[in-house]
Amino acid sequence: MRNQKIRICVAGATGWAGSALCKGIINDDQLQLVSGVSRSQSGKHLSEVLGTDGTPVPLFKDVETALSAIDANVLFEFTKPDIAKHNVLTALRKGVDVIIGTSGLTEEDYKEIEKTAREKNRAVLAVGNFAITAVLLQKLAETAAKYLPDFEIIDYADHQKIDTPSGTTLELVDRLSKIHQPSDAISDDELVGPVESRGAKIHNIRVHSLRLPSYVIAIETIFGLPDERLTIRHDSGSSATPYVAGGLLAIKEIHTFKGLKRGLDSIMKF
């Protein structure tokens, strides 16, 4: 695609997922990590924080400063929902393509992001989960929804995760709702007891968010027919390793389109 290396700034470079991604970028000869954003480690070099070798990678306090100081082709957004949209829009207005790994953005956020991306002729890839097994769950669930009309989703995460449901689940709900939206045998008005116990309705799909210690990210789609049931489930372990390969793939393919795409599979070949 390009003769020169792709230049990347990672926002959230010293976080759990961001630090693993940074190490993956450093070890890939097609990519160049030029800067990082870390409010807690601003002013340091990434090698000091992560113990990496090679060319020093400076850490800045915010995306504005990082992108103004050092040119980048791609911003990889791996921070928190309260700042993510601001970071994405800032990068787009500076002519930088963006990959979003942060969950918690709303549909309204994505509408604004897509509008800005098209105005600036830039690309945004929003991925709820970079793990290949999570991508396969989504693809298999989409296939099942064509044949199995009744289903619900259980969303699992650590008890300290503030966004409910997770970005992975929201992405799946968005996809499944375009194929089929289940109808309730019993309406909410007919239920006896707290209506909330039946889960939240998102695009008319019931979602139940479980938040307990020991979970990282897991998602379960349960399809039911009379006398039979299908469960499709993805579980993440305690390390960020599963997300690195998908993150590197996203960086290498972000140049292949303009506007907004959602889901890692949107740039994969099946």
The fold of the 6-130+239-267 domain, in CATH, is Rossmann fold (3.40.50)
Q: What is the pLDDT along the chain (270 residues), one digit of tens a residue?
A: 456 899 999 999 999 999 999 999 999 999 999 999 999 999 999 998 988 877 789 999 999 999 999 999 999 999 998 999 999 999 999 999 999 999 889 889 999 999 999 999 999 999 988 999 999 999 999 999 999 999 999 999 999 998 899 988 998 999 999 999 998 989 999 999 999 999 999 999 999 999 999 998 899 999 999 999 999 999 988 888 889 999 999 999 999 999 999 989 999 987
CA dihedral 259, 257, 3, 34 (to 10 degrees): 30
Global pTM value: 0.79
SS3 157: strand
Alpha carbons 154 and 186: distance in angstroms, whole number: 20
Residue 3 is predicted with a pLDDT of 67
Domain 132-235 class?
A: alpha beta
Alpha helices in the chain (DSSP H): 16-26, 46-50, 63-69, 81-93, 107-119, 132-145, 167-177, 241-253
Residue 167 is predicted with a pLDDT of 85
Residue 203 is predicted with a pLDDT of 94
Per-domain residue ranges of the chain: 6-130+239-267, 132-235
Provide DSSP, 161-215: --SSS-HHHHHHHHHHHTT-----SS-GGG--S-GGGG-EEETTEEEEEEE-TT-
Alpha carbons 52 and 26: distance in angstroms, whole number: 9
Alpha carbons 32 and 101: distance in angstroms, whole number: 19
Nearest to 111 by CA among 245, 260, 212: 260
Label residue 267 exposed, middle or buried (CB < 10 Å: 0-12, 13-18, 19+): middle
